[in-house]
Structure 1
């Protein structure tokens, strides 16, 4: 049976990997395992050991604590953000949009952000 914490950590691994544009194969090679193991981590089928999570965090450029954000006493909590789905970063389209957004130069990104805010207020 999958444990809720393992599922949450796996989702956070997948989210960060997508944000970086890293494939499962690339991540697996960087930490010295097979890509199938990354798949099992991301689905919560297998638990990630502390040392492996440390390696994954280093490859993905985040602190280990990143993988536990959104947990409260071992239970995943949904953010309270208006009409957004509880796990918006589990949506590949949302992650692709976010990755594309951060690929834009900062001054243009600021203008795009202002435009998006105005459009959302008008909706």
Structure 2
């Protein structure tokens, strides 16, 4: 009876082990990206692949932009996955290389709340 209970217990444990999956995090070669203070940099993060390049898209809903009349319009950054602090802000609302002018100035609209 004892041997049979032990075999059942071992079987249950082995079944549970096969269900568990793990996630490998490399702690020796860390890549760290930092954004502007108080920008909520990292609020959203998405892995992205474009033209042979792996990158991370990072949202910063309270980031300052270069748009005239807008102080905290939010921003999305493109970051290299192989180098520290290699993020570049992705420009939005541009026409022919010139900032778009409008009567509507959107301040604190949290542009980068959802990055996919």
Q: What range describes the TM-score normalised by the shorter chain of this pair?
A: under 0.3
TM-score by length of 2: 0.21
Which structure: greater helix fraction?
A: 1
Structure having greater relative contact order (Cα 8 Å, sep ≥ 6): 1
TM-score by length of 1: 0.20
